[in-house]
């Protein structure tokens, strides 16, 4: 569905109408048991099912609230075929979720779906006097059979990792079944107990073609990559990246990670990504690939808590059989389309010139932060980064360039 632009007048009408509906909210109910304080494997999620108890199109049949990193996804299904475009933006046809942080009723809010996506997809209202100020909230909205999935950043509505009580509510004009407006809520009484968990990005998820040489040209993105670390030069590379607020991908050699574990942790802490560059940098064959990849994965995870989904084959040698083995281990094979041959130490100016001359939207640039004296690469990077930014490029990690989904680890 396209963006449904809702005027401030409509929003004001929604605020007035929904304020009355908010008064019908029930007391908190602990219908869902609290989870233990421990690491979780799956994303926190809670699905509630409701019987067909109020005749009409927006009678809620099921609702699900799921966390994915810093986002919440509300998925709901209703009794009859439904399109997001049918929502009015006012209380006569609307679906909302009420969220109250445990122990902080003044922060309670009602978040309502009023559009088909974009900056005006949601409208947030307070549930109590003096609560959060009304505002539009951006969201992604996907239509599903008899319902919708609405995804939004929970920090945008003032939430954090905390316990909450929530319920879904809908209202619509009835045809004889209700006196004025029909209402439904899930659960039928009270609210369900849940929690937004603290999380870390602990990896990425391989998807799409198994071997990549570049990313899509759309978005004006470029991925800088560095091989053969970690080393004494890696912190210098990180310093330049941090200076300009950009990120890169580091393909690390397994046997070097243990002695320089703090450096690998700094890569992840700064928001960059680590990929697998084998244990000892040999030519890969079908016979030796698993033995080179698995211990490197283990070393990186032990040092950083990050699980790579990318592998850079040494020297770029990756026969079809090797690419297949790598994919069976859950990784993509990442090559490159821009190579300044910085390993040969041609001089910082030459390295910078080669990169800047060859780079295109979607490029993957290979450089080195280990394997020898990399002072020229560090010096060249101080030129490459600001020039690319000045050309309008966004310097991102390989997973970001390829649109790979992050993997999260949650802790209560």
Rounded Cα–Cα distance for residues 25 and 2 (Å): 31
Rounded Cα–Cα distance for residues 378 and 390 (Å): 19
DSSP 3-state helix, strand, coil percentages of the chain (rounded to 5)?
25, 30, 40
Q: Which residues contact 113 (CB under 8 A, 6 or more apart)?
A: 84, 87, 94, 95, 96, 121, 122, 139, 141, 148, 150
Dihedral angle of Cα 200, 406, 151, 61, to the nearest 10 degrees: -90
Strands 181-186 and 93-101, sheet pairing: unpaired
CB 114 within 8 A of CB 4: yes
Phi-psi region at 155: left, alpha or beta (left = phi > 0; alpha = psi -120 to 50): alpha
Rounded Cα–Cα distance for residues 268 and 306 (Å): 8
Rounded Cα–Cα distance for residues 167 and 382 (Å): 52
What are the contacts of 178-184 at 24+ separation with CB within 8 A?
A: 178/54, 178/56, 181/21, 181/91, 181/92, 182/54, 182/55, 182/56, 182/58, 182/59, 183/21, 183/24, 183/54, 184/50, 184/53, 184/54, 184/58, 184/59, 184/60
Q: Which residues contact 291 (CB under 8 A, 6 or more apart)?
A: 279
Q: Residues 120, 277, 281, 368: which is the catalytic one?
A: 368
92 in active site: no
How far does Cα 312 stand from its chain's mean position?
23
Q: Residues 227, 276, 342, 369: which is the catalytic one?
A: 227
Question: Which of 206, 139, 123, 124 shows the shortest CA–CA distance to 399?
Answer: 206
276 in active site: no
Backbone angles phi, psi at 344, to 5 degrees: -85, 0
Question: Which of 269, 312, 272, 321 shows the shortest CA–CA distance to 292?
Answer: 312
Query: Is it true that the peptide bond before 187 is cis, omega within 30 degrees of 0?
Result: yes
What does 243-282 look like in DSSP terms, one character per residue? HHT---EEEE-HHHHTTTHHHHHHHHHTT-EEEE--SS-P
Q: Which residues are catalytic?
A: 227, 368
């Amino acid at each position: 569905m396209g963006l449904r632009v809702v005027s401030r007048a409509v929003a004001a009408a929604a605020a007035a109408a929904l304020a009355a509906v908010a008064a019908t909210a029930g007391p908190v109910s602990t219908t869902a048991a609290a989870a233990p304080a421990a690491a979780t494997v799956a994303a926190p999620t809670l699905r509630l099912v409701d019987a067909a108890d109020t005749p009409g199109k927006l009678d809620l049949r099921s609702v699900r609230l799921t966390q994915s990193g810093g986002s919440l996804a509300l998925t709901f299904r209703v009794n009859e075929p439904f399109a997001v475009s049918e929502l009015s933006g006012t209380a006569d046809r609307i679906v909302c979720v009420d969220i109250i942080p445990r122990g902080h009723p003044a922060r309670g809010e009602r978040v309502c779906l009023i559009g088909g996506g974009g900056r005006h997809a949601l409208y947030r209202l307070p549930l109590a006097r003096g609560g959060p100020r009304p505002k539009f909230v951006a969201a992604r909205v996907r239509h599903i059979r008899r319902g919708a999935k609405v995804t939004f950043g929970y920090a945008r509505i003032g939430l954090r990792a905390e316990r909450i009580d929530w319920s879904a509510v809908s209202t619509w004009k009835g045809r004889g079944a209700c006196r004025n407006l029909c209402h439904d809520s899930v659960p039928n009484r009270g609210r369900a107990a849940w929690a937004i968990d603290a999380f870390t990005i602990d990896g990425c998820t391989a998807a799409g073609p198994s071997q990549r040489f570049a990313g899509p040209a759309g978005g004006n993105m470029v991925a800088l990559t560095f091989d053969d670390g970690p080393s004494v030069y890696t912190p210098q590379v990180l310093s330049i990246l941090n200076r300009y607020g950009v990120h890169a991908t580091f393909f690390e050699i397994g046997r070097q990670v243990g002695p320089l574990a703090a450096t690998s942790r700094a890569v992840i802490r700064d928001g960059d990504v680590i990929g697998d560059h084998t244990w000892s940098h040999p030519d890969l064959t079908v016979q030796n690939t698993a033995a080179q990849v698995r211990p490197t994965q283990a070393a990186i995870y032990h040092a950083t808590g990050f699980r790579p989904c990318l592998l850079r084959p040494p020297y770029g040698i990756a026969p079809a059989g090797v690419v297949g083995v790598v994919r069976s281990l859950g990784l993509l094979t990442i090559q490159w389309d821009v190579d300044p041959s910085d390993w040969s130490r041609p001089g910082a100016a030459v390295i910078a010139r080669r990169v800047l001359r060859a780079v295109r939207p979607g490029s993957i640039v290979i450089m080195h932060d280990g394997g020898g004296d990399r002072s020229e690469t560090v010096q060249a990077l101080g030129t490459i980064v600001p020039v690319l930014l000045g050309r309008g490029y966004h310097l991102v990690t390989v997973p970001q360039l390829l649109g790979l989904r992050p993997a999260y680890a949650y802790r209560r």
